């Protein structure tokens, strides 16, 4: 369209979907902009995409300290794009809010660099030991380098004494993930945690029963005796002799 006056010629165009999204973004109406691009992407939108608008919205949420909302939005906007996920995670890391995105990180057929999951675990280790233990229980050890996380826990325990039992339980699980069952068993016994019996049965650690029978009996005599009697995997006569010698 042309608008002609004695002094000027003005070219006018129809107000399209891109113009509306631009207006919504410039006026801070990010949710509406995201909805508009969702309905029009690939059809009426040529200058805006869901990812572009979504990342602008993410930056706004982080700047305004709406970290939980930002974490939820990542799931909606980033999809299965590993590169985008990793770029956004570092934004959360810079403001020490990896915990806000931890529930939404890809953990299925699409996974991120192991360092990403380790960063999240380290933040929980320092700021939320109970949350750290929960993640160690929930997350597959294939997501991160177990030995690196073990070292992080050991270093943390050297200088902090809060919630030690929680972190020692996490350490026992990590040792088990790493195949260091002797250390895992020792940790469970130190904590007087009955998962020690499950660990022995799951990984058939029958040779360890003889060495730690007193501790096992002290923890749960019935379960310890059941281990000894289970299909003769543990020589019961040797166990009896050892117990007699120590009493």
CA distance 236 to 242: 10
Q: If you write DSSP's letter for every residue of 22-63 in order, what string do you get?
A: HHHHHTT-HHHHHHHHHHHBTTTBSS--HHHHHHHHHHHHHH
* Cβ pair 180, 146 in contact under 8 A: no
With 0-12 / 13-18 / 19 or more C-beta atoms within 10 angstroms meaning exposed / middle / buried, residue 5 is exposed
> Which residue reads 């000027």 in tokens?
8
15 to 62, 154, 231: CA distances (angstroms) = 31, 61, 80
* Cβ pair 180, 205 in contact under 8 A: no
3-state class (DSSP) for residue 126 = helix
Residue 48 is predicted with a pLDDT of 63
Paired with 9 in beta bridges are 4
The Cβ of residue 28 has, within 10 Å, a number of other Cβ atoms equal to 11
90 to 101, 102, 117, 200: CA distances (angstroms) = 11, 12, 11, 40
- Ranges of H-type helices in the chain: 17-26, 30-40, 50-63, 67-78, 82-94, 114-127, 129-138, 146-159, 164-177, 181-191, 195-203, 206-211, 213-219, 221-229, 236-245
CA distance 9 to 13: 13
* pLDDT tens track, the chain, 247 positions: 445 556 665 544 444 666 777 787 888 888 888 887 776 554 665 666 788 888 999 999 999 999 999 999 999 999 999 999 999 999 999 999 999 999 999 999 999 999 999 999 999 999 999 999 999 999 999 999 999 999 999 999 999 988 899 999 999 999 999 999 999 999 998 899 888 888 888 888 877 777 787 788 888 888 887 877 765 665 666 556 555 555 5
CA distance 224 to 160: 34
pTM of the model: 0.80
The C-alpha angle with vertex 149 and arms to 146 and 153, in degrees rounded to 5, equals: 135
Q: Which two tokens stand for residue 19?
A: 């113009």
* Cβ pair 79, 109 in contact under 8 A: no
């Amino acid at each position: 369209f042309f608008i002609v006056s004695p002094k000027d010629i003005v070219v006018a165009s129809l107000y399209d979907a891109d113009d509306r999204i631009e207006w919504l973004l410039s006026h801070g109406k990010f949710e509406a902009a995201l909805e508009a691009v969702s309905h029009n992407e690939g059809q009426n939108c040529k200058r805006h995409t869901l990812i572009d608008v979504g990342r602008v919205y993410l930056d706004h949420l982080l700047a305004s300290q709406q970290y939980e909302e930002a974490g939820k939005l990542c799931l909606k906007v980033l999809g299965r794009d590993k590169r985008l996920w990793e770029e956004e995670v570092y934004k959360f890391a810079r403001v020490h809010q990896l915990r806000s995105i931890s529930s939404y990180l890809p953990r299925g057929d699409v996974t991120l660099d192991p360092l990403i999951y380790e960063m999240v675990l380290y933040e929980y280790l320092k700021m939320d030991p109970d949350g750290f233990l929960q993640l160690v229980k929930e997350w597959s050890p294939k997501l991160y380098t177990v030995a690196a996380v073990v070292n992080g826990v050991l270093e943390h325990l050297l200088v902090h004494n809060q919630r030690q039992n929680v972190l020692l339980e996490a350490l026992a699980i990590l040792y088990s993930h790493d195949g260091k069952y002797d250390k895992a068993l020792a940790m469970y016994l130190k904590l007087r945690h009955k998962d020690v019996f499950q660990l022995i049965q799951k990984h058939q650690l029958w040779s360890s029963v003889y060495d730690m029978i007193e501790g096992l009996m002290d923890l749960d005599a019935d379960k310890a005796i059941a281990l000894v009697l289970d299909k003769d995997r543990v020589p019961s006569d040797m166990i009896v002799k050892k117990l007699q010698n120590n009493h």
